A = this chain, B = another copy of it.
Amino acid sequence: MVVGAGLSGLAAARVLERHGLAVRVLEALDRVGGRVLSATVAGAHVDLGGTFVGPDHERVTALADAVGVRRRPTYDGGDNLLRWRGDLRRYRGTIPPVGPAALVDLARVRASFGRACRAVPPGRPGDARDADRLDATSLDGWLRARRATTATRDLMAVVARTSWGCEPAEISLLHVLHHVARAGGLDRMLDTRGGAQEQHLVEGAQEVAVRVAAALRPGAVVLGSPVLRVDRGERTVTVRTDRGTTTARRAVVTVPPALRRRIRFEPPLPARHRRLAQRWAPGVLSKAYAVYDRPFWRDAGLSGMTVGDAGPVFITVDAGPVDGSRGVLLCFVGGPDARAWEVAAPGERRAGVLRSLAYLFGRRALAPLGYVDQRWAEEDWLGGGPTAVPGPGAVVPLDEALREPVGTVHWAGTETATRLAGFMDGAVSAGERAAREVVRALALEDGAGGGIGGGVGNPGRGAGSGERTTGIEPA
Protein backbone atom coordinates (compact mmCIF):
# COMPACT_ATOMS: atom_id res chain seq x y z
CA MET A 1 0.00 0.00 0.00
CA VAL A 2 1.17 3.50 -0.86
CA VAL A 3 0.02 6.72 0.81
CA GLY A 4 0.15 9.60 -1.67
CA ALA A 5 -0.18 9.60 -5.45
CA GLY A 6 2.55 12.12 -6.18
CA LEU A 7 5.52 11.20 -8.32
CA SER A 8 7.11 9.38 -5.39
CA GLY A 9 4.10 7.25 -4.57
CA LEU A 10 3.38 6.42 -8.17
CA ALA A 11 7.01 5.51 -8.85
CA ALA A 12 6.89 3.24 -5.80
CA ALA A 13 3.64 1.60 -6.91
CA ARG A 14 5.07 1.03 -10.39
CA VAL A 15 8.08 -0.83 -9.00
CA LEU A 16 5.94 -2.83 -6.60
CA GLU A 17 3.57 -3.92 -9.36
CA ARG A 18 6.54 -4.94 -11.50
CA HIS A 19 7.49 -7.28 -8.69
CA GLY A 20 4.06 -8.86 -8.94
CA LEU A 21 2.64 -7.22 -5.84
CA ALA A 22 -0.92 -5.95 -5.59
CA VAL A 23 -0.74 -2.30 -4.63
CA ARG A 24 -3.26 0.30 -3.65
CA VAL A 25 -2.37 4.02 -3.75
CA LEU A 26 -4.43 6.22 -1.44
CA GLU A 27 -4.47 9.90 -2.32
CA ALA A 28 -6.04 12.74 -0.29
CA LEU A 29 -6.54 15.07 -3.24
CA ASP A 30 -8.91 14.60 -6.14
CA ARG A 31 -5.98 14.36 -8.56
CA VAL A 32 -2.64 12.62 -8.91
CA GLY A 33 0.69 14.47 -8.94
CA GLY A 34 1.08 15.90 -5.43
CA ARG A 35 3.44 18.84 -5.73
CA VAL A 36 3.44 18.40 -9.50
CA LEU A 37 0.46 20.09 -11.11
CA SER A 38 -0.06 21.23 -14.70
CA ALA A 39 -2.65 23.49 -16.26
CA THR A 40 -3.49 24.62 -19.76
CA VAL A 41 -3.56 28.38 -20.16
CA ALA A 42 -4.33 29.93 -23.55
CA GLY A 43 -3.29 26.72 -25.19
CA ALA A 44 0.02 26.38 -23.34
CA HIS A 45 0.82 23.61 -20.86
CA VAL A 46 2.26 25.20 -17.72
CA ASP A 47 3.65 23.56 -14.61
CA LEU A 48 2.48 25.08 -11.36
CA GLY A 49 4.70 22.85 -9.22
CA GLY A 50 7.81 20.88 -10.18
CA THR A 51 8.76 22.02 -13.67
CA PHE A 52 12.34 21.52 -14.77
CA VAL A 53 14.71 18.61 -15.19
CA GLY A 54 18.47 18.66 -15.56
CA PRO A 55 20.80 16.39 -17.52
CA ASP A 56 21.61 14.31 -14.44
CA HIS A 57 17.98 13.92 -13.36
CA GLU A 58 18.08 10.33 -14.45
CA ARG A 59 15.17 8.78 -12.62
CA VAL A 60 12.49 11.28 -13.56
CA THR A 61 13.64 11.46 -17.17
CA ALA A 62 13.65 7.65 -17.37
CA LEU A 63 10.11 7.62 -16.02
CA ALA A 64 8.98 10.35 -18.42
CA ASP A 65 10.57 8.48 -21.30
CA ALA A 66 8.91 5.25 -20.23
CA VAL A 67 5.45 6.80 -20.40
CA GLY A 68 6.16 8.85 -23.50
CA VAL A 69 6.18 12.36 -22.03
CA ARG A 70 8.60 14.43 -24.09
CA ARG A 71 11.18 16.95 -22.98
CA ARG A 72 12.26 20.14 -24.64
CA PRO A 73 15.03 22.61 -23.86
CA THR A 74 14.32 25.67 -21.77
CA TYR A 75 14.83 28.79 -23.88
CA ASP A 76 18.26 30.16 -23.17
CA GLY A 77 18.99 32.85 -25.77
CA GLY A 78 19.47 36.57 -25.18
CA ASP A 79 20.18 38.63 -22.12
CA ASN A 80 18.91 38.15 -18.61
CA LEU A 81 17.64 41.06 -16.54
CA LEU A 82 18.52 42.06 -13.01
CA ARG A 83 16.08 44.26 -11.11
CA TRP A 84 18.28 45.64 -8.38
CA ARG A 85 18.16 48.64 -6.09
CA GLY A 86 15.54 50.34 -8.22
CA ASP A 87 17.50 49.81 -11.42
CA LEU A 88 17.24 47.37 -14.34
CA ARG A 89 20.39 45.85 -15.91
CA ARG A 90 21.03 43.34 -18.66
CA TYR A 91 23.51 40.52 -18.19
CA ARG A 92 24.55 37.17 -19.61
CA GLY A 93 25.41 33.96 -17.78
CA THR A 94 24.46 33.11 -14.24
CA ILE A 95 26.17 35.83 -12.18
CA PRO A 96 24.01 38.94 -11.96
CA PRO A 97 25.88 42.29 -12.29
CA VAL A 98 25.45 43.49 -8.73
CA GLY A 99 28.48 45.81 -9.01
CA PRO A 100 32.25 45.16 -8.98
CA ALA A 101 32.81 45.11 -5.23
CA ALA A 102 29.72 43.00 -4.69
CA LEU A 103 30.84 40.54 -7.35
CA VAL A 104 34.18 40.06 -5.65
CA ASP A 105 32.38 39.37 -2.39
CA LEU A 106 29.92 37.04 -4.08
CA ALA A 107 32.77 35.06 -5.67
CA ARG A 108 34.50 34.78 -2.30
CA VAL A 109 31.37 33.57 -0.54
CA ARG A 110 30.45 31.16 -3.32
CA ALA A 111 33.90 29.61 -3.20
CA SER A 112 33.63 29.19 0.55
CA PHE A 113 30.12 27.79 0.16
CA GLY A 114 31.30 25.33 -2.47
CA ARG A 115 34.06 24.02 -0.18
CA ALA A 116 31.56 23.62 2.65
CA CYS A 117 29.15 21.77 0.35
CA ARG A 118 31.71 19.27 -0.80
CA ALA A 119 32.37 18.34 2.82
CA VAL A 120 28.80 17.08 3.34
CA PRO A 121 28.34 13.44 2.27
CA PRO A 122 25.04 13.06 0.35
CA GLY A 123 22.51 11.09 2.35
CA ARG A 124 24.54 11.35 5.55
CA PRO A 125 24.65 15.02 6.65
CA GLY A 126 25.24 13.98 10.24
CA ASP A 127 28.58 12.53 9.18
CA ALA A 128 29.89 15.85 7.90
CA ARG A 129 32.83 17.24 9.82
CA ASP A 130 31.46 19.71 12.36
CA ALA A 131 27.93 18.59 11.53
CA ASP A 132 26.61 19.85 14.87
CA ARG A 133 28.12 23.27 14.37
CA LEU A 134 26.84 23.55 10.79
CA ASP A 135 23.39 22.49 11.96
CA ALA A 136 23.37 24.96 14.84
CA THR A 137 23.41 27.95 12.54
CA SER A 138 21.26 29.17 9.69
CA LEU A 139 22.27 30.14 6.17
CA ASP A 140 21.89 33.74 7.31
CA GLY A 141 24.09 33.17 10.35
CA TRP A 142 26.79 31.67 8.17
CA LEU A 143 26.66 34.57 5.70
CA ARG A 144 26.89 37.11 8.51
CA ALA A 145 29.75 35.26 10.18
CA ARG A 146 31.58 35.46 6.85
CA ARG A 147 30.78 39.18 6.71
CA ALA A 148 29.00 38.74 3.42
CA THR A 149 27.85 42.06 1.96
CA THR A 150 24.20 42.97 1.80
CA ALA A 151 24.22 42.28 -1.94
CA THR A 152 25.53 38.76 -1.42
CA ARG A 153 23.01 38.13 1.34
CA ASP A 154 20.15 39.45 -0.79
CA LEU A 155 21.14 37.19 -3.66
CA MET A 156 21.36 34.18 -1.37
CA ALA A 157 17.90 35.09 -0.10
CA VAL A 158 16.65 34.78 -3.68
CA VAL A 159 18.24 31.32 -3.84
CA ALA A 160 16.61 30.34 -0.53
CA ARG A 161 13.17 31.56 -1.61
CA THR A 162 13.37 29.68 -4.90
CA SER A 163 14.91 26.47 -3.63
CA TRP A 164 13.18 26.03 -0.28
CA GLY A 165 10.51 28.69 0.03
CA CYS A 166 12.09 30.26 3.09
CA GLU A 167 14.33 33.09 4.27
CA PRO A 168 18.04 32.43 4.93
CA ALA A 169 17.50 32.81 8.69
CA GLU A 170 14.87 30.07 8.75
CA ILE A 171 16.91 27.15 7.45
CA SER A 172 19.70 25.04 8.90
CA LEU A 173 23.02 25.72 7.17
CA LEU A 174 23.75 22.01 7.22
CA HIS A 175 20.56 21.32 5.30
CA VAL A 176 21.37 24.01 2.74
CA LEU A 177 24.82 22.50 2.17
CA HIS A 178 23.38 19.00 2.03
CA HIS A 179 20.65 20.00 -0.38
CA VAL A 180 23.09 21.71 -2.72
CA ALA A 181 25.56 18.83 -2.42
CA ARG A 182 22.80 16.41 -3.41
CA ALA A 183 22.03 18.64 -6.42
CA GLY A 184 25.63 18.49 -7.63
CA GLY A 185 26.70 21.95 -6.47
CA LEU A 186 25.34 25.49 -6.64
CA ASP A 187 26.13 26.08 -10.31
CA ARG A 188 24.42 22.95 -11.47
CA MET A 189 21.46 23.69 -9.22
CA LEU A 190 20.99 27.24 -10.52
CA ASP A 191 21.95 26.94 -14.19
CA THR A 192 19.74 26.44 -17.18
CA ARG A 193 22.18 25.07 -19.74
CA GLY A 194 23.80 21.98 -18.23
CA GLY A 195 21.88 22.61 -14.99
CA ALA A 196 18.66 21.76 -13.22
CA GLN A 197 16.57 24.07 -15.42
CA GLU A 198 17.88 22.73 -18.74
CA GLN A 199 14.66 21.06 -19.88
CA HIS A 200 11.00 20.88 -19.14
CA LEU A 201 8.24 18.54 -20.19
CA VAL A 202 6.25 19.25 -23.32
CA GLU A 203 2.97 17.76 -22.11
CA GLY A 204 3.54 19.10 -18.57
CA ALA A 205 5.13 17.39 -15.60
CA GLN A 206 1.82 16.20 -14.18
CA GLU A 207 1.29 14.18 -17.33
CA VAL A 208 4.07 11.86 -16.13
CA ALA A 209 2.07 11.19 -12.98
CA VAL A 210 -1.19 10.81 -14.89
CA ARG A 211 0.31 8.25 -17.26
CA VAL A 212 2.14 6.27 -14.59
CA ALA A 213 -1.12 6.09 -12.62
CA ALA A 214 -3.04 5.02 -15.73
CA ALA A 215 -0.57 2.20 -16.32
CA LEU A 216 -1.14 0.70 -12.89
CA ARG A 217 -3.65 -2.07 -12.30
CA PRO A 218 -7.16 -0.62 -12.82
CA GLY A 219 -8.52 0.80 -9.60
CA ALA A 220 -5.13 0.86 -7.92
CA VAL A 221 -5.27 4.61 -7.29
CA VAL A 222 -8.01 5.82 -4.96
CA LEU A 223 -8.47 9.60 -5.01
CA GLY A 224 -10.12 11.85 -2.44
CA SER A 225 -9.13 9.54 0.39
CA PRO A 226 -6.95 11.21 3.02
CA VAL A 227 -5.29 8.60 5.20
CA LEU A 228 -6.34 9.41 8.73
CA ARG A 229 -4.92 6.55 10.70
CA VAL A 230 -2.30 3.84 10.31
CA ASP A 231 -2.35 0.86 12.66
CA ARG A 232 1.09 -0.68 12.69
CA GLY A 233 1.02 -4.41 13.24
CA GLU A 234 3.92 -6.83 13.50
CA ARG A 235 3.61 -8.07 9.94
CA THR A 236 0.83 -5.91 8.57
CA VAL A 237 -0.35 -2.36 8.44
CA THR A 238 -3.95 -1.18 8.39
CA VAL A 239 -4.77 2.18 6.89
CA ARG A 240 -7.99 4.01 7.55
CA THR A 241 -9.68 6.68 5.43
CA ASP A 242 -13.16 8.17 5.50
CA ARG A 243 -14.16 5.47 3.06
CA GLY A 244 -12.93 2.39 4.86
CA THR A 245 -9.80 0.49 5.79
CA THR A 246 -7.13 -1.37 3.85
CA THR A 247 -4.76 -3.91 5.31
CA ALA A 248 -1.48 -4.75 3.62
CA ARG A 249 1.88 -6.20 4.55
CA ARG A 250 3.70 -2.91 4.13
CA ALA A 251 2.90 0.78 3.65
CA VAL A 252 5.02 3.33 1.82
CA VAL A 253 4.14 6.78 3.14
CA THR A 254 5.15 9.50 0.68
CA VAL A 255 3.56 12.64 2.14
CA PRO A 256 5.82 15.64 2.96
CA PRO A 257 7.46 15.20 6.38
CA ALA A 258 5.19 17.66 8.21
CA LEU A 259 2.13 15.88 6.89
CA ARG A 260 3.20 12.61 8.51
CA ARG A 261 2.01 14.22 11.71
CA ARG A 262 -1.51 14.53 10.32
CA ILE A 263 -1.74 10.76 10.23
CA ARG A 264 -2.53 9.08 13.52
CA PHE A 265 -0.14 6.19 13.91
CA GLU A 266 -1.01 3.49 16.43
CA PRO A 267 1.20 2.65 18.16
CA PRO A 268 2.65 6.14 17.78
CA LEU A 269 5.84 6.59 15.80
CA PRO A 270 9.10 6.81 17.78
CA ALA A 271 9.75 10.26 19.23
CA ARG A 272 12.37 11.17 16.66
CA HIS A 273 9.99 10.50 13.78
CA ARG A 274 7.36 12.66 15.44
CA ARG A 275 9.92 15.41 16.03
CA LEU A 276 10.92 15.28 12.39
CA ALA A 277 7.33 15.91 11.36
CA GLN A 278 7.19 18.86 13.71
CA ARG A 279 10.48 20.45 12.73
CA TRP A 280 10.59 20.00 8.93
CA ALA A 281 7.84 22.41 7.89
CA PRO A 282 6.97 23.01 4.24
CA GLY A 283 8.26 26.20 2.68
CA VAL A 284 6.11 28.89 1.13
CA LEU A 285 6.54 29.56 -2.58
CA SER A 286 3.94 30.41 -5.17
CA LYS A 287 4.07 30.31 -8.91
CA ALA A 288 2.24 32.33 -11.52
CA TYR A 289 2.17 32.15 -15.30
CA ALA A 290 1.35 34.78 -17.87
CA VAL A 291 0.88 33.44 -21.37
CA TYR A 292 1.17 35.65 -24.48
CA ASP A 293 0.62 35.00 -28.18
CA ARG A 294 4.37 35.08 -28.66
CA PRO A 295 7.52 35.60 -26.55
CA PHE A 296 7.86 39.29 -27.44
CA TRP A 297 10.79 39.77 -25.02
CA ARG A 298 12.91 37.60 -27.30
CA ASP A 299 12.57 40.28 -30.03
CA ALA A 300 14.32 42.68 -27.68
CA GLY A 301 17.14 40.17 -27.20
CA LEU A 302 15.92 39.14 -23.77
CA SER A 303 15.94 35.61 -22.41
CA GLY A 304 12.92 36.06 -20.19
CA MET A 305 15.10 35.07 -17.24
CA THR A 306 15.10 37.79 -14.59
CA VAL A 307 16.12 38.08 -10.96
CA GLY A 308 14.92 40.84 -8.67
CA ASP A 309 15.16 42.29 -5.20
CA ALA A 310 11.54 43.52 -5.17
CA GLY A 311 8.26 41.67 -5.27
CA PRO A 312 5.86 40.20 -5.69
CA VAL A 313 7.60 38.44 -8.61
CA PHE A 314 11.28 37.95 -7.81
CA ILE A 315 12.28 35.51 -10.57
CA THR A 316 10.94 34.92 -14.05
CA VAL A 317 11.83 32.25 -16.59
CA ASP A 318 10.77 31.84 -20.21
CA ALA A 319 9.13 28.43 -19.95
CA GLY A 320 7.61 28.46 -23.41
CA PRO A 321 8.47 26.50 -26.53
CA VAL A 322 11.72 27.42 -28.24
CA ASP A 323 9.87 27.88 -31.54
CA GLY A 324 8.04 30.87 -30.08
CA SER A 325 4.57 29.51 -30.85
CA ARG A 326 3.50 30.84 -27.46
CA GLY A 327 5.05 33.24 -25.00
CA VAL A 328 5.13 31.75 -21.49
CA LEU A 329 6.54 33.55 -18.48
CA LEU A 330 6.93 31.54 -15.32
CA CYS A 331 6.99 33.81 -12.25
CA PHE A 332 8.13 32.91 -8.74
CA VAL A 333 6.36 34.73 -5.94
CA GLY A 334 7.59 34.46 -2.35
CA GLY A 335 9.44 36.05 0.53
CA PRO A 336 8.21 38.67 2.99
CA ASP A 337 7.22 40.97 0.10
CA ALA A 338 4.69 38.43 -1.04
CA ARG A 339 2.72 38.10 2.20
CA ALA A 340 0.07 40.60 1.12
CA TRP A 341 -0.03 38.99 -2.32
CA GLU A 342 -0.63 35.54 -0.83
CA VAL A 343 -3.87 36.60 0.84
CA ALA A 344 -5.12 38.94 -1.89
CA ALA A 345 -8.07 38.24 -4.16
CA PRO A 346 -7.39 36.62 -7.57
CA GLY A 347 -7.71 39.90 -9.47
CA GLU A 348 -5.24 41.66 -7.19
CA ARG A 349 -2.76 38.79 -7.43
CA ARG A 350 -2.94 38.92 -11.23
CA ALA A 351 -2.51 42.69 -11.23
CA GLY A 352 0.51 42.43 -8.89
CA VAL A 353 2.25 39.86 -11.05
CA LEU A 354 1.56 41.75 -14.27
CA ARG A 355 2.88 44.98 -12.72
CA SER A 356 6.15 43.18 -11.98
CA LEU A 357 6.28 41.83 -15.53
CA ALA A 358 5.56 45.24 -17.05
CA TYR A 359 8.44 46.75 -15.08
CA LEU A 360 10.70 44.07 -16.57
CA PHE A 361 9.36 43.66 -20.10
CA GLY A 362 7.26 46.74 -20.80
CA ARG A 363 3.57 47.53 -21.04
CA ARG A 364 2.88 44.70 -23.44
CA ALA A 365 3.21 42.34 -20.49
CA LEU A 366 0.04 43.81 -19.01
CA ALA A 367 -2.21 42.08 -21.55
CA PRO A 368 -1.58 38.32 -21.50
CA LEU A 369 -3.87 35.86 -23.23
CA GLY A 370 -4.11 33.98 -19.97
CA TYR A 371 -2.97 34.02 -16.38
CA VAL A 372 -2.90 31.40 -13.63
CA ASP A 373 -1.30 31.13 -10.21
CA GLN A 374 -0.87 28.47 -7.58
CA ARG A 375 -0.30 29.19 -3.90
CA TRP A 376 1.07 25.97 -2.46
CA ALA A 377 0.62 27.09 1.13
CA GLU A 378 -3.13 27.00 0.47
CA GLU A 379 -3.04 23.26 -0.14
CA ASP A 380 -4.32 21.71 3.08
CA TRP A 381 -3.05 18.22 2.21
CA LEU A 382 0.42 19.35 1.14
CA GLY A 383 1.08 22.21 3.55
CA GLY A 384 3.25 24.31 1.26
CA GLY A 385 6.05 24.06 -1.23
CA PRO A 386 8.44 23.43 -2.80
CA THR A 387 10.06 21.32 -0.12
CA ALA A 388 10.53 20.91 3.62
CA VAL A 389 12.60 23.42 5.57
CA PRO A 390 14.43 22.16 8.65
CA GLY A 391 15.33 25.04 10.93
CA PRO A 392 18.64 25.23 12.77
CA GLY A 393 19.19 22.14 14.89
CA ALA A 394 16.67 20.00 13.01
CA VAL A 395 19.05 18.06 10.75
CA VAL A 396 21.61 16.14 12.81
CA PRO A 397 19.12 14.56 15.21
CA LEU A 398 16.32 14.07 12.71
CA ASP A 399 17.58 13.60 9.12
CA GLU A 400 17.90 9.84 9.46
CA ALA A 401 14.27 9.54 10.49
CA LEU A 402 13.33 10.80 7.02
CA ARG A 403 13.88 7.37 5.48
CA GLU A 404 14.37 4.97 8.40
CA PRO A 405 11.53 2.39 8.20
CA VAL A 406 9.42 1.93 11.32
CA GLY A 407 8.34 -1.70 11.35
CA THR A 408 5.94 -2.17 8.47
CA VAL A 409 5.98 1.51 7.47
CA HIS A 410 8.46 2.78 4.87
CA TRP A 411 9.00 6.36 3.77
CA ALA A 412 9.37 8.11 0.46
CA GLY A 413 8.76 11.61 -0.93
CA THR A 414 11.40 13.89 -2.42
CA GLU A 415 12.72 15.00 0.99
CA THR A 416 13.88 11.45 1.68
CA ALA A 417 16.06 11.20 -1.43
CA THR A 418 19.80 10.81 -1.12
CA ARG A 419 20.23 12.51 -4.51
CA LEU A 420 18.38 15.56 -5.83
CA ALA A 421 16.13 15.81 -2.80
CA GLY A 422 13.54 18.52 -3.33
CA PHE A 423 13.46 17.93 -7.09
CA MET A 424 11.10 15.73 -9.09
CA ASP A 425 14.00 13.38 -9.62
CA GLY A 426 14.36 12.90 -5.87
CA ALA A 427 10.67 12.10 -5.61
CA VAL A 428 11.00 9.35 -8.19
CA SER A 429 14.23 7.87 -6.85
CA ALA A 430 12.91 7.91 -3.29
CA GLY A 431 9.74 6.09 -4.31
CA GLU A 432 11.75 3.49 -6.17
CA ARG A 433 14.10 3.08 -3.22
CA ALA A 434 11.21 2.59 -0.78
CA ALA A 435 9.61 0.04 -3.12
CA ARG A 436 12.86 -1.93 -3.23
CA GLU A 437 12.98 -1.86 0.57
CA VAL A 438 9.50 -3.35 0.68
CA VAL A 439 10.34 -6.02 -1.88
CA ARG A 440 13.43 -7.01 0.09
CA ALA A 441 11.57 -7.02 3.39
CA LEU A 442 8.79 -9.22 2.05
CA ALA A 443 11.29 -11.60 0.48
CA LEU A 444 13.06 -11.95 3.81
CA GLU A 445 9.78 -12.44 5.62
CA ASP A 446 8.72 -15.13 3.20
CA GLY A 447 12.05 -16.86 3.74
CA ALA A 448 12.80 -16.76 0.06
CA GLY A 449 16.47 -17.48 -0.15
CA GLY A 450 16.54 -17.05 -3.90
CA GLY A 451 16.54 -13.28 -4.28
CA ILE A 452 13.91 -10.67 -4.67
CA GLY A 453 11.88 -12.13 -7.48
CA GLY A 454 11.41 -15.40 -5.66
CA GLY A 455 8.67 -15.62 -3.10
CA VAL A 456 7.16 -12.22 -3.41
CA GLY A 457 5.80 -12.15 -6.87
CA ASN A 458 4.27 -15.59 -6.46
CA PRO A 459 0.52 -15.10 -6.61
CA GLY A 460 0.14 -18.28 -4.60
CA ARG A 461 1.49 -16.47 -1.55
CA GLY A 462 -1.61 -14.58 -0.52
CA ALA A 463 -2.37 -12.33 -3.49
CA GLY A 464 0.91 -10.52 -3.86
CA SER A 465 1.39 -8.16 -0.93
CA GLY A 466 -1.70 -9.62 0.65
CA GLU A 467 -3.82 -6.50 0.61
CA ARG A 468 -7.29 -6.77 2.03
CA THR A 469 -9.65 -3.88 1.60
CA THR A 470 -12.90 -3.09 3.34
CA GLY A 471 -15.25 -0.50 2.03
CA ILE A 472 -12.81 1.46 -0.10
CA GLU A 473 -14.15 1.87 -3.59
CA PRO A 474 -11.72 2.46 -6.40
CA ALA A 475 -12.06 5.99 -7.77
Using CB atoms and an 8 Å cutoff, list the residues of chain A in contact with chain B: 132, 136-138, 140-141, 144-145, 166-167, 169-170, 226, 228, 258, 261-262, 264, 268, 271-272, 274-275, 278-279, 281-282, 284, 336, 339, 342-343, 375, 377-378, 380, 383-384, 391-394, 397
Assess A339 versus B170: contact at CB under 8 Å? Given A261-B262, A377-B275. no
Q: Which residues of B contact A278 (CB under 8 A)?
A: 258, 281-282, 383-384
Q: Give 6 A-B pairs besides A271-B342, A339-B397 with Cβ atoms closer than 8 angstroms.
A: A136-B169, A138-B141, A167-B392, A258-B261, A271-B377, A336-B397
Copies in the complex: 2
| CB neighbours of A282 from chain B (8 A) | 278
Residues of chain B with a CB closer than 8 A to A275's CB: 281, 284, 377, 384
What are 19 A-B pairs with beta-carbon distances under 8 A?
A138-B141, A138-B169, A138-B392, A144-B144, A167-B393, A170-B391, A170-B392, A262-B262, A262-B264, A271-B377, A271-B378, A275-B281, A275-B284, A275-B377, A278-B281, A278-B282, A278-B383, A278-B384, A336-B397
Q: How far is the CB of A24 from chain B (nearest CB, A)?
A: 21
Task: State whether B140 touches A140 (Cβ < 8 A).
Answer: no
Task: Tell me if A137 and B281 are in contact (CB < 8 A).
Answer: no
Contact among B141, B264, B279, B383 with A141 in the assembled complex (CB-CB below 8 Å): B141
Task: Say how far A257's CB is from chain B's closest CB, in angstroms.
Answer: 10
Which chain B residue lies CB-closest to A270? Answer: B343
Q: Most chain-B Cβ atoms within 10 A of its Cβ — which of A279, A391, A394?
A: A391
- Measured CB to CB, the nearest residue on chain B to A263 is B262
CB-contact partner of A138 in B138, B226, B261, B383, under 8 A: B138
Which of chain B's residues have a CB closer than 8 A to the CB of A170? 391-394
A137 to B139, CA, bound (A): 11
The one of B166, B169, B226, B274 that contacts A380, using a Cβ cutoff of 8 Å = B274
What are the residues of chain B within 8 A of A132 when measuring CB–CB? 336
Q: Give the shortest distance, in Å, between A244 (CB) and chain B (any CB).
A: 16
Docked complex Cα distance between A262 and B343 (Å): 24
Query: In the complex, what's the smallest C-beta–C-beta distance from A457 to chain B, in angstroms?
Result: 37
Roughly how many angstroms separate A226 CA and B228 CA in the complex, as a whole number?
Answer: 13
> How far is A343 from B268 in the complex, measured between Cα atoms in Å?
15
Is there an interface contact between A268 and B380, defined as CB atoms closer than 8 Å?
yes
In the A-B complex, the 9 residue pairs with the smallest Cβ-Cβ separation, listed nearest first, are A268-B380, A391-B391, A169-B392, A278-B281, A170-B393, A136-B169, A271-B377, A167-B393, A170-B392
Instruction: Among A140, A169, A264, find the residue whose CB has the most chain B CB atoms closer than 10 A.
Output: A169
Whether the Cβ atoms of A136 and B167 lie closer than 8 Å is yes
Q: Which B residues are CB-close (under 8 A) to A271?
A: 342-343, 375, 377-378
Q: Which residue of B lies closest to A267 (CB)?
A: B380
Residue of B nearest to A145 (CB): B144
Q: Are A169 and B284 in contact (CB under 8 A)?
A: no
State the CA gap A148–B385 with chains docked (Å): 36
Tell me the smallest distance from the CB of A285 to a CB of chain B, in Å.
13
